[in-house]
Chain A
Amino acid sequence: MKGKKLGGIFLIAVLLIGLISGCSSQPSENGSTGDTIKIGFLGAKTGNVATYGINTLKGMKLAAEEINNAGGVLGKKIEIIEADNRGDRTEIANIMQKFITKDKVVAVIGDPTTGGTKVAAPIAQSNQVVLLSAGAAGEGVVEIGDYIFRNTLLDSVAAPITAKYVIEELKWDKAALVTSLNNDFSVGLSKIFAKAIKELGGEIVIEESIQDGDTDFSAQVTKIKEANPEVIIFTGYYTEAALFLQEARRQGLEAKMVAGDGCLSPDLIKLGGDAVEGSFVYCGFSPDQPTAETQKFIEAVKGKYNEEPDMFVAQGYDAVKILAAAMEKANSIDPKVFRDALAQTKNFPGVSGVTTFRENREPIKSPVYLLTVKDGKFTLQAKLPVKLEQ
């Protein structure tokens, strides 16, 4: 009996250790010394949207390292405070509270997803801490308050341009539209695509819905096959996209996919294999045909991480640089002060394109990169320029 009890206690101990080590990812230094500028990283390092978070963090670390090696910002070093929100909304709220009350960050970069940013934004706003999302592309983000920014290619900018390319250049005007209902990004993007396609004279022959986390898409694919579209517009994330296309090919539905930057992940190809060949994905960055500045950045990422950067690495990198530039310009690290300078960012030459914040703090980035999957790799199909007045 005693042995069993000990076994039970041991198990509980193991479980507790597991819990504790799972929650506290980074030992946070208490009592800021005053010579560092603390910037929080909000994103998932585990879970279904982990690649966005992991890559954003890589870019942020690289930018911080470069800035610190060059003497820092206003003589202070940048320190990135990390946490893993697992893509979980409750966790996002907890981490934001911790960043603000315990770590006393001046700004938070993240969350890479629209849904996550919408949870974090009200907390940042009410505490007057700058939140700069390097990924949230959906609607209703910066409207939350004047401390909320994003440097990302907006869906409302990219999707109409992509739709135009699909209809006018690729000549596919009968589209199937697939939306993931429990995904804010997907629901928002579907509306934009639907509107753009109609305005351009295309037709949506069928609308189907899925959920993030689903693995079986057979019913939807059978219905789409019946409608016989020329292209599948898929607005969800990469895991579901890969599995969806596999089911499509299994049932003999051969239409290619056009998707947003939610499908920009090497995992799309790893999971989808031949099924995703020929898919199109728009995004705010491509390592192909780089400018001189971008080339330098690509080399730096290769040197540090031994891999090519994707859009999230580039946007995470730019986010830190944009914040640093605003602090320099305002000559202050107080978010109440450098917020104004940040809002006036114009034609910032980032590695992920040229960024301008409009009056309503919405970014315009040019160009839009349209990538296609060719021989199991994302390759640049076209650079679509964005006009500023859009």
Chain B
Amino acid sequence: MFFQQLINGITLGSTYALIALGYTMVYGVLKLINFAHGEIYMFGAFVGMIMVTTFRLSIIPAFIISMLLSSLLGMGIEMIAYRPLRKSTRITALISAIGVSIFLQNLGILIMGPATRPFPRSIRSYYVNLGAIKIDILQIIILIVSIILMVALHLLVKNTKVGKAMRATALDKDAAYLMGINVNRIITITFAIGSALGAAAGVLIGLYFNSVSPLMGSMPGLKGFVAAVLGGIGNIPGAMLGGVILGVIETLGAAYISSAYRDAIAFAVLIIILLVKPSGIMGVNVREKV
């Protein structure tokens, strides 16, 4: 039973990790908590579902189209809702992000209707049996995809020219601009990649739980944010680690303490970790002028 619960926790955790990657990336460059990320995740799930049901595509092209369209949405949001506010205080952009989030949720309800819809299982059911433990192939796929995306993202940021420009922008926007970096372009790219990651999460998680709804982004979005903070926001491997830790704590808490308190346990652990290490598990403590 313990191993089954551990697998449950790791699967849940890798869904949080997938969402957390997008959060952490945007935060790392812009120092903006993009609260609309949960809704991009929802949008991605819907696009994936529509591609599979209405356009009868198989899951891989649906996955790619969903990521592409979501990055367009992400860039659009950045241009309309964040760019005009870039010179304002950080709280202004944050409020704008919350506004976008609520706007997209309600738009989703208007267009797609309020009900939860099924995401047709377009991957063949396959189970790996390990004694009494049964693992769904999708659980393995989710974990592998999140690891691949994390590694790819890490390499992109550390080893490419765009990544270097991103790090420079993150460090000091004005200085980066003076060095000839097109800051706007870098930020747009950041949003595009972050949103594509959100869409990937949406499709995979929609597929796994077989459900898509306009409000599906709010709670997982929050948990993804928590995972990012837990791991050290802005830190890419940290997001992954934070997600998995949060998922495992939640599941084990539900299994061995009480399922009534699963969220309470998860958030209590978050508070404790942040009290001990405010910058998160893998975060670097940078002193900031406020």
Contact = CB atoms under 8 A, between A and B. Distances in A.
**Best-buried of A208, A218, A267 by chain B (most CB within 10 Å):** A218
Q: Classify chain B: how many residues form its interface, as a range.
A: 35 or more
Interface stretch (A106-114, A152-160, A220-228, A367-375): A220-228
A292 interface: no
A219 B262 contact: yes
A45 B114 CA distance: 8
A239 B259 contact: no
B134 A215 contact: no
A246 interface: yes
Interface stretch (A1-9, A125-133, A339-347): A1-9
A243 B209 contact: yes
B116 A210 contact: no
B251 to A, nearest CB: 5
Given A11-B81, A220-B254, A246 B210 contact: yes
A205 B91 CA distance: 51
Given A218-B11, A219-B255, A243 B134 contact: no
Contact of B209 (A4, A210, A216, A220): A216
A213 B118 contact: no
Interface string A60-86: 000000000000000000000000000
**Best-buried of B11, B114, B117, B118 by chain A (most CB within 10 Å):** B114
Chain A interface mostly helix, strand, loop or mixed?
Answer: helix
Nearest to B80: A11
Interface stretch (B101-109, B195-203, B279-287): B101-109
Q: Classify chain A: how many residues form its interface, as a range.
A: 35 or more
B115 A51 contact: yes
Contacts of A270: 117-118
A46 interface: yes
Contacts, number: 96
A8 B106 CA distance: 19
Contacts of B114: 45-48, 50
B136 A250 contact: yes
B61 interface: no
Interface string B233-255: 00000000000000000111011
Interface in B132-182: 134, 136
Contacts of A22: 106
B276 interface: no
B265 to A, nearest CB: 11
Interface in B256-290: 258-260, 262-263
B84 A7 contact: yes
Interface of B: 1, 4-5, 8-9, 11-12, 15, 80-81, 83-85, 99, 103, 106-107, 109, 113-118, 134, 136, 205, 209-211, 215-216, 219-220, 250-252, 254-255, 258-260, 262-263
List the 9 closest pairs (A to B, CB-CB), nearest first.
A218-B8, A219-B254, A46-B114, A209-B260, A219-B251, A4-B84, A215-B209, A222-B4, A50-B114
